[in-house]
Chains A and B, each alone.
Chain A
């Protein structure tokens, strides 16, 4: 087994790590699909307000490739479609029926998979609405169905705080997971790397035989982009595909049972949760069902995804198509304590050694305050020290601001895994990640147009 050692990166020591305890969430009355939160997809509505939909019937398609569809996570009727500025489709809200009607897809046995051709398998996933779960580096759009990847990465766990633990979603589903891997092996027609952190001791040994890549090191060591960066030997390998461990189960369920799978195990973490845990709910469920014990919502930020890469959602929002993590962070929209500038800062988390917290091993409280005003770059170099793919963000962002696209690509812009550490550590509070992400998206648009 190969082990990749990631030396850079940084682990946040933050409170609110979810325990392995699981809890079944209440059955929601409404569900929603959030097209706005699906990156790069240009959605075209296939339904209108008042329409009846079944579980697994298409709600939107991607204008760029109408084959790619996103299906309804439940059976019922459309009660509302929310549009944002410039008619961006924010939420398609479905009120659930008592008896949810479901679209029937074809069922496959393991032998059936053997007999199918790769194209048929891809078609089955595209029709089943789960193709977009497979993503393609470096832009992280869903994979192109007509491409053959150089490799496919399946990651079981995440080093970002906080995501569902494989020891929660895997036990009992080992056979299903093996079936899913069989599908992926056929799909990829290339090496499939099933990876986990070397130190994840909670995983039972039942799947040891299929794990063929481990890694050590700090966040974001788990990221397929980081693993690829460390493993690749030529530019041919840049367009690898990846999928998360829990999504493999969804694909397996779809092909095995012939029903659009809806179960999602969501980690619920962060300092805003009294009992950080895992919640069994379903795709598109309202956040209020997942975090049912909430008290006052105003001072908490509901972060869908990890606390570094996730996005803040309204407490009344719904679980996104890709999301399996909900983290509650204090908003921190109040000013600091008197003369906090001179506080030794034993409890102030920082990458630097400028606070006493450098010797504090405890997990600390974190909030969404910027902890400072915006300044010009003072070249402290912290961003380059944490970047897991050796980009020099303090130079690259200046190259981007100067409009030098070619040079930014030379700087490794497309290797950026969008982990957000550069923005996190920046004492000048420059949104480095945002610059790099936007520049990447621009490059992507330019490439598609060509």
Chain B
């Protein structure tokens, strides 16, 4: 028996029934089973069971998100150094990024786990791994300047209202991470909107240096109005297509890189964790709505209508949300056909919200939540259709 096994053997009794920490059993169990799969055997047919479990399933999503964290830390540090007029050496940038990002992640995980453990121990079931993914997703959508208490409040709202009051992972109909994000956006607009929040200032500065514009591509696109040209506005701000695609510009922590989101989506599709129908549906919907707006764009209308649909795909967090938020299997549509429609709706709504509702520069989060509401209806229609084609057997 090695040291880790011994550690679990000696600590388990405190968490088991009758132990001092018996209430925390779900928390203990979730930690132990990360190290060692449980010894449970099948009691009813079939005798053998697949090796895949929810833990593995969710763990793969976390692995797909790790590059976003690495990128997020670098990008936050990089933007901070640019805005504060500091150097661009690698390690100082990482250090600045870590100082901004790590506390948010730690706070989110502490609060997420606390709520999940509380509900699991009251309900007397094991801790569901969905919380790991929710806690990993939320920080990536937040501005790096978010006050920690807001991050804690956001994850609490997401987990409790978005999920637990409906019964926990598997029974929620909204994406918990986006529920928390949307709550923060509407409840605390001062800290969650505007151009200044996307860049952490360091070196004791209170304002960015003059040469630095903190404007995000989305806000540039939104303020262009009916005169001017978004493409040239992007060019003036230094946003080349490559820069937009790789995501090295002020924005949410790690959510700006369309490139990494494409890689992550491919990884999850290949492993069968994310459903390609949703992702392709999203992209199709976005391109379709973008093209449609291009067609109706007239001289006097907002130039946002004429934005190249491909630009819609790479600016902001749309690709990130398509890859990780829309593909949440629980809150998304469950039927294969409905998934296409579900995805298409998200893509199309993203463009519509961005273009026609300047109050919400990034529409994709709201689009996902909105389609979450419609997913059960889409499923219902497809199931009814499928059942009608069965030869009855009663």
Contact = CB atoms under 8 A, between A and B. Distances in A.
A369 B41 CA distance: 4
A395 B383 CA distance: 9
Interface stretch (A125-133, A184-192, A300-308): A300-308
Main secondary structure of the interface of A (DSSP, over half): loop
A378 interface: yes
B53 A427 contact: yes
Given A308-B48, A392-B383, A334 B39 contact: yes
B47 A428 contact: no
A148 B297 CA distance: 71
A395 B336 CA distance: 13
A411 interface: yes
Contact of A428 (B54, B270, B335): B54
Given A336-B36, A338-B4, A375-B169, A412 B390 contact: yes
A288 interface: no
Nearest to B40: A370
Interface stretch (A77-85, A93-101, A227-235): A227-235
Contacts of A379: 170, 329-330, 332, 334
A410 B4 CA distance: 51
A354 B52 contact: yes
A298 interface: no
A329 B48 contact: yes
A340 B37 contact: yes
A103 interface: no
Interface stretch (B55-63, B136-144, B245-253, B341-349): B55-63
B39 A333 contact: yes
B330 A378 contact: yes
B57 A378 contact: yes
B217 interface: no
Contact of B59 (A333, A341, A426): A341
A106 interface: no
B167 interface: yes
**Most chain-B CB neighbours within 10 Å: which of A310, A379, A409?**
A379
A11 interface: no
Contact of A372 (B5, B38, B169, B386): B38
Interface string B237-278: 000000000000000000000000000000000111101000
Nearest to A367: B48
Contacts of B49: 368-372, 423-424, 426, 429
Nearest to B272: A353
Nearest to A239: B393
Contacts of A233: 391
A255 interface: no
Interface in B197-225: none
Contacts of A215: none
Contacts of B296: none
Contacts of B41: 331-333, 368-370
Given A376-B128, A379-B330, A411 B52 contact: no
A315 interface: no
Contacts of B128: 375-376
A238 B393 contact: yes
A311 B42 CA distance: 11
Interface in A415-431: 415, 420-421, 423-429, 431
Contacts of B38: 335-336, 370, 372-373
Determine the interface band of chain A, counting residues with CB < 8 A from chain B: 35 or more
Contacts of B29: 373
B45 to A, nearest CB: 5
Contacts of B39: 332-335, 369
B48 A12 contact: yes
B171 interface: yes
Interface stretch (A66-74, A244-252, A261-269, A342-350): A342-350
B130 interface: yes
A230 B129 CA distance: 39
A105 interface: no
Contacts of A413: 393
Interface string A196-238: 0000000000000000000000000000000000001111001
B98 to A, nearest CB: 24
A180 interface: no
A394 interface: yes
Contacts of B56: 341, 354, 372, 427
B47 A310 contact: yes
Among A338, A342, A372, find the residue whose CB has the most chain B CB atoms closer than 10 A. A372
A51 interface: no
Nearest to B33: A373
Contacts of A238: 393
Given A341-B59, A352-B272, A376-B169, A371 B53 contact: yes
B392 interface: yes
Contacts of A362: none
B149 interface: no
13 contacts: A301-B47, A333-B39, A335-B36, A337-B37, A341-B34, A372-B53, A372-B56, A373-B126, A375-B126, A377-B170, A378-B130, A379-B170, A427-B50
Given A353-B270, A409-B394, A434-B45, 14 more contacts: A341-B55, A352-B50, A354-B57, A369-B39, A370-B38, A373-B33, A375-B170, A376-B171, A378-B130, A392-B383, A414-B394, A420-B45, A420-B46, A424-B48
State the 6 A-B residue pairs at the shortest beta-carbon distance, nearest first. A372-B53, A376-B170, A336-B37, A420-B46, A308-B46, A348-B51
Interface of B: 2, 4-5, 29, 33-42, 44-57, 59-60, 125-126, 128-130, 167-171, 270-273, 275, 329-330, 332, 334-336, 383, 386-387, 390-394
